[in-house]
Every structure is written in C-alpha cells, then in structure tokens.
Chain A
Amino acid sequence: MRKTILFAAAICILLVKTAVSQSVDSAMIEAYSAFDSAKNYHQMLAASNQFKLIEKQWPDNWLTNYYAAWSTTVTTFLEPDKDKKDPMLDEADAYFKKIEPMDTTNDEVGVLGALIAGARIAVAPTSRHSKYGKIADSFYEKVKKLNPNNPRMYYQQGNSLFYTPKLFGGGAEKALPLYEKAASLFPNDNKDIHKPHWGMKKNKEMIDQCHKKLDK
C-alpha cells in the first residue's frame, strides 16, 4: 500500500506538473481552436486574450507573438467601441515589432503587417486610407518576393477591394478574382500550428458574398 501511495503521489505530481507547464504548442492549439470556432465577439476576445497570456509565458517565441498580434488585430474588426480599436492595435503592433526582426524570410510577417495596416484603415477609412494603404502595399510587395503563392495575401487584398466603394476603384467584381486566386492556394496550406493557415473558411464566405452581390 505504501508503494501504491508513493506511486500515486508520483503520478499526481506529474499530472500537476504537465497541467501547469503545458507545452507551448498544446496551449496554442487550444487557443487557436477556441478562436477559430468563436461565435461572437466575446468568445473571440476571450481566445485572443488566451493568446496574449501564452505570449506572456513565452515572450521570445515567434509563434506566440504572431498569434497574439494576429488575434488582437482580427478582434478589432468586431470591437464595438471605436475608441478601443487604436489602443488594441497599438498592442498588436508591439507584438508585431518583436517578430519582424526574428525571421525576415517568413512571408507571413508581411501578411500580418498588411493586416494591421488594414485594421488601422478600418478605424477611420477616409482619413487613413492613403497613409496605411501605402504601408499595406509595401508589405504585400515583400510577401510577393518571398512567396507569391501565399493565399492570405490574396484574401486580404480581396477584402480591401471588397470594402472599397466601386467609385473609388473597389467593389465585389474586382475583389472576386483575388478571392478565387486565394481559394486555389488555400488547399496547399500545412495545417500545422507552426504554420499560419487561417482564412480558408472566411475566404469561401466572401466568394459567396461576391456572387450574391454580382447576381443582383
């Protein structure tokens, strides 16, 4: 019996230990799936917060910073309080600034940079379009050089056209070919948490929206 108790204690310590020092990967997979399946703003914010806590634990990790920046940025699109958007994007920028020098050959860095710029535009489109549009474009140029087959780049470019009025050179008609190009590239994504692979589902939704608009 004494043996059993010792054994049990050992297992218990082990269990507790793994629970506390859960690996960075499993923590991220958990947060990612929560973010991906979030049905409302509250759930999204909660998952994004989880990414931020993970980053606090592993602050020098490329991936933890990437997901903290990405999830915070995506959340701002749903944030109902306009005044909170910029402070949130400042946070995202801080994570982004950390990963920018870490890996200069990763095309996802540029995609993320352009996403943040796009979120800045969304806060005040008329006055920010010119400044942040240029910043986004320069990020896309870098992405194109590193990997012209990045689906997220085409998806994001599609978004920026879709949400620009037709009069100013945007519209569903112009956005659709970009979404379609993205759709043809998404299946090549590696579904590994170490490789960003978000966007496919939303891209499909946008294609449907385009068709709906164009059929009208």
Chain B
Amino acid sequence: MKRKITTLLLVTIPLLSIAQVTIKGKITEGKGKPVPFATVFVKNSIVGTLTDTLGNYKLHYSKKENLVIVATAIGYDTSTYNLIPDSNKNYTVNISVKSNSSNLNEVVITPGSFDANNDRKVAMLTTMDIYTTAGAEGDVVGAIQTLPGVQKVSDQTGLFVRGGDASESAAIVDGLVVQDPFFSPVPGVAQRSRFGPYQFKGISFSSGGYSARYGQALSGILELNTNDLPEETTFTANINMAGVALGGAKLWQHSSLEGSINYTNTNPFYGLMKTNLDFFQPPVGGGGSLRYVWTNANGDILKLSGNYNQYKSGINVINPEQPDSTLAFNLRNYYTTGSAYYKHLFNPKTYLTLSASYSQNGDSVKWGTENFDKTDDREQARAELGSQVSDKFYGYIGTEVQRYSEGQKFDTINLAFTETQIAGYAEGEWKPVKWFGLKPGIRYEYSELLGKSDLAPRISAAARLGKYGQISAAYGMFYQDASDKYLLFGDKPGFQEATHYIVNYQLMVNDRTFRVEGYYKSYNDLIRELTEGPYDPNPYRPFYWPVNNSGYGYAQGVDVFWRDKKSIKNFDYWISYSYIDTKRLYANYPVEATPDFVSTNNLNIVTKYFIEKPGINLSLTYAYASGRPYYNPNNPTFLGDRSPAYQDLAASISYLFRVKKLFGVFYLGVDNVTNNHNVLGYNYSDNGENRFPILPALYRSAFAGVFISLTPFKKDEL
C-alpha cells in the first residue's frame, strides 16, 4: 500500500507540474517606464497579482490552456496578451499599457467661465472661497471682482465684464433672470449686489461664450444656484455695525422651512467712518424672507421662496449737471420677489425643470427738490427638458418667456414700456472620446416690443493635453435689447450684437491651477444717440435725441489666473491678471474711444491663511487697476486722459469660538488698510476751467460683527 501511494505521488506530481505554468514579466508604459501597482490577472479566473515598484509581476496558473493575461491600472487603458502555452512551464509576458489621462479627468468644456461649487466637478473655487475673501465684504459680486476679466469700478453700480458696460451682464438665480441684482444705483457710489453669503450651493461666472440657455447679455452671466434642503434645524443671528439679521431653519425628513428677518441701520458704521461724501441719511431698512423646500427619495425637488425688502438713504452727491456743487439725493426703495422652481427626474438621467418668478422694484427718488419715481417689474417662466442620452451625449432643450415693464415719472413727464421676449434653445454636449468634447447650441429669441427676432449660434470645444492640461475654444453670438433708458422714450432700435471668440489653456495639478485665456469680441449694432452739440459726460443727462444701431466696437485681451493651495500648509492664494484693449462708438460718444469704466491692466492678489489652533482665518487682498479714461473738454482727444492707478489693500480676520452649544464667528474687515487716496477720475466745470476729483465714498473703512449659530458649524461655513 505504501509503495502504491509513493507511486501514486510520483506519477501525480509530474502530471500536476506539467499542468502548472508560471508567468512573469514587466508592465510598462508606452515609453518603457515601469508601472507600479498595476493589476495583472488571468482572464476568467481569480488568479491575479500586483506589479511591484519596478513593474514586475509573477503569476502561477494551475492549468495549461490558452490564457488571456490582462493588465490594468488606474490612469491606463486595459491591455491584454494571448498566451498559447507550448511545452514550456515558464513564460515571460511583458505588457505595455497606454496612459489614459482622461480616465482620471474627463474633459470639461468651460471656456470663458469660472465655477465655484461644492460638487465633484472640477472647480477653481468653492462657494466658501467667495465668503472668505477680504475686500469682498460678504458680497458675491465683490468676490467675483477678484477674478480675471472683471473691472472693479468703485463709482458705478454693476458687473463690468471684458469691456462691456454694466447693462451687458445678467444675473441668474436657479435659471431665472434677476431684474434688479443690485441695490438701486446712487450717482457716484457703487452699490452692493443683493446676493449675500450662504444662499447658494453653486456659483458660475461666465466672462464670455456662455451657454445657449441664456441670452440678453452681450458680455457675461453670473449664474447662481440656491441651496437644497438645509443641513439641520438651526437658529442663527448676525449682529454687526450695520444691523441685525435673525434666521431660522426647520428641517423635516423631506422638507424644510426657512425664514429670516433683518433690520439694517448703517448709522453706527457711517458714524465711525470718515466719508468723502456726506451721508446725511445712512441707509436704514429692513425686510424678511421665507423659503420652503421639498424633496423626495426620487430626487425631485421643489423650491418656493419669497422676499421683501425696503430701505431709505440720503447722500449729498456731486451734482452730475454741475460738478462744482452737490445735490441731496434721497432714495426710498421697495423690493418684492417670489419664485418657484421644480425639478422632476423621470429617471436618474432625464429631468424636467419648470420655474417661474415675479419681481417688483420701486424707487422713489428726490433729486434736490425734484421728485423722480421709477417702478419696474418682471414676470418669467422657463421649462427645460434634459437627458444624458448616452455616456457620450448629454443634451437639453428649453423655452422661456420674459415679460418686463418699466415706468418713470419725472416732474410731469410719464414714460413707460413693456417688453415681452420669447426664446427657445437647444444645446448638446458630445464627447466622442473622453479627452475631447464638443458643445454646440442654438438660441432663438423674439422681442415683441421691437418686433424682431434673431438666431444666436454658440459652440465650444475642449481637448485634454496630457494628464493635467486642457485646451478649449468657444465662439458665440449674443443679442440684447437697447438699454431701458432708450426704450422708455419709445425708441425701437434693433438688437445690439456681440460675437465672442475665446481660446483657453488650463493646467490643474492637484491643488494648483494655471489658466490663461485670450479673447476677441466684436460689437455691432450698438445704440448711438444722434446728438447735436458738444459731448455731455453726465450719465443722467435728460435724453431727447433719436437713436439708431450704427454703433460698433471691439474688445480683446488676455486673462491669467493662478491659484496654489498646496505649497504652504493652510495657506491659499490666487493671482488674477487681465489685460484689455477695447474701443467702442456708442451712446453719445462722438468718436470711437475706450470707455470710462475700463482699466487696461487689472491685478488681484487674494491670500488666505488659516491658523488651526486658535481657529483664526486671515485674508489679505490686493487690488490694482491702471488708470481709467475720463473726459477732459480741453483735450482734443476724446476720453484721452487717464486717472491715477487704483490701489486697495483689504484685510479680514475671523475668529471662531465655541461656548457650549453656541458656535460663533467674530469677524473684522478693513478695506483700504493703507488709506490710499484713490482718485477715480475728474469732472470738469461747464467752461472746462475747473476740474473736480471723483472720489470713492470712503477711503479706509472697517466693518465688524459677530455671527452666532445654535448648531455646530460645519467646516465649510467658515
């Protein structure tokens, strides 16, 4: 028996070893570089291993048959090798794999735009960045002004993008156009936007070449998406030098109700600050908001919100008609909005959104002794159907109706107009391969007031270059009605038009981002006032001239952005630089010129440092803008003079603390720390003999407050 077993073993072992094969080899990248930690396995088996740091592997397979050896690694395409065993037991199988950069990062088609969001999509900023930027003063637009392509204009209200004036940018919340994104303009004093912190989960700013989803903005779009359900039931209070705001949120399983009330009184602030203008009635006002959000397990979401706000203010401004004197400017503003947004998912890849809103804004102004009343309102509705048709194609179609009207009463003059715009659009994002994408779109717009329609094609494309780089390009046509001031007088000129050409290169490695974008923008059919007589620099000039579409212009430039979160622990900074060359013939310009809101060179350096131990966040922002043109009647070159360069260093500090269940942030912001006396330009007396500097409302200013919350802070609310 013993002998039998020995025989058995003797016979079996060689049989077994004949059946077993050993496969070893090296996995290399195209150029011969070893790929460590790659997976190598025999197809249709569980026999597999990893390569070592030199790319070598060794496998034992217990059956002699035709095999498929598979090599895979994250960041590489899968490669296979067919092994047909012969009489040998040992085989060397070297496999070369191809680097597949798109595996790590799919191409993202975003020329012209900056996204701040907290989703997984590659973002250059997060929403938190918007709130912790010194100098932004908690205003979304304030932070957007530190990005390339945007002008900081301290004496005019609005968002100035790549040579475009304030009327050429639109703000959009949940797909709906915001009729009055800023507080009502005051001559010579830039106003804040109405968008405060913490309302938005995503912010996307486009300085050109934006999606066919939107129209009626020749230059840029600021797109904001409101939060979904709040994180938890909470109570917050914000007490600062300009008032008190209280908020509460109640969270149920699938719905929430949020409410807030605020009282603004800037008396303590203006009482402490030295101002260049006399604020005889610092802004005082108040309001409240309510918001209801409902969602279900399917992912459908409904958002309803309403908001009311009113305030009054009084400032002695420079009299636009006689710059050597001041004029009391009294303003009362009433603002009401209501909106509804609903998104339904038919399946995880197909959605329908329906949204509608109403807003009304009223200004009651007293210029010196003269009364001026303005009301405007907007109703709109939008529907969009979108679907991720396949891995390679995502598309959407939509339609919108906008109706807005404005009325002005000045002395005995009554002016009014109502415009209805209907638009339809279709856009698709096609990625035939992961490293290349194409996004064509088309938009149709019809204006009832003007009786005109247009077709605006848009297209953008992007391709990955290597593992971290990407190049993209965009082209698009954009149309816009004439400014309200012209429509009020019954003029019905055609659409103004801008064509954008954008080329962009971007490199993102871990937490470092470099981006450079070049653009050319041509303007056609801009509105020209057929004036007689000399140029009138007063933006509030009473307007009695007919207009036509004979204006034109161009803007070209380079925007550079660099951000580094990595080099120094807890230190984060970004640098943005813009160069622009632009000229236009529009409004009452006698000849083509660079407009007075444009600085040729703009530089922003934003830095943030977090000190973990006591929980202190420090931020410093430096802004530089080269001198802006101003009108000098004695200079034969129209708008040929330049103001001194603008410089501002802003600092902010926030300190986080905790007392039992109460969490708080104390914050202090100082704008223009060095008390630099910026001069924004000059106004000239009628005879041209005297000039008067245009100054910002404040030089150095400081603002402090405390924010407390009855629930623990999440880190991203810092």
Contacts and interface: CB of A to CB of B under 8 A. Distances in A.
A53 B713 contact: no
Interface string A1-21: 100110111011001100110
B87 interface: no
B716 A11 contact: no
A192 interface: no
Interface in A36-87: 42, 45-46, 49-50, 52-54, 56-57, 82-84, 86-87
Report whether over half of chain A's contact residues are helix, strand or loop; otherwise say mixed: helix
Closest 3 CB pairs of A and B: A169-B712, A8-B11, A127-B126
A120 B105 CA distance: 16
A16 B64 CA distance: 10
A87 B103 CA distance: 8
B110 to A, nearest CB: 17
Contact of B510 (A46, A49, A83, A133): A83
Interface stretch (A151-159, A160-168, A183-191, A206-214): A160-168
B214 interface: no
Contacts of B37: 42, 45
A134 interface: yes
A130 interface: yes
Nearest to A134: B231
Q: Chain B binding site: helix, strand, loop or mixed by DSSP?
A: loop
Contacts of A122: none
A33 interface: no
Given A127-B128, A168-B713, A19 B62 contact: yes
B104 A168 contact: no
Contact of A130 (B45, B231, B510, B712): B231
A167 B118 contact: no
A88 B713 contact: no
Interface in B242-298: none
Contacts, number: 113
Nearest to A54: B46
A127 B104 contact: no
Interface in A116-142: 120, 125-131, 133-134
A180 B591 CA distance: 79
Contact of A11 (B12, B41, B48, B62): B12
Contact of A131 (B63, B118, B128, B663): B118
Given A12-B12, A16-B63, A127-B123, 15 more contacts: A1-B7, A12-B15, A20-B45, A22-B46, A49-B49, A53-B47, A54-B46, A57-B46, A82-B510, A88-B74, A120-B120, A134-B229, A167-B658, A168-B714, A168-B715
B119 interface: yes
A10 to B, nearest CB: 10
Given A82-B510, A86-B120, A53 B41 contact: yes
B120 A129 contact: no
B75 A46 contact: no
B50 A46 contact: yes
B143 interface: no
Given A165-B715, A168-B715, A46 B12 contact: no
A146 interface: no
Interface in A90-125: 120, 125
Interface in B33-71: 37, 39, 41, 44-50, 52, 62-63
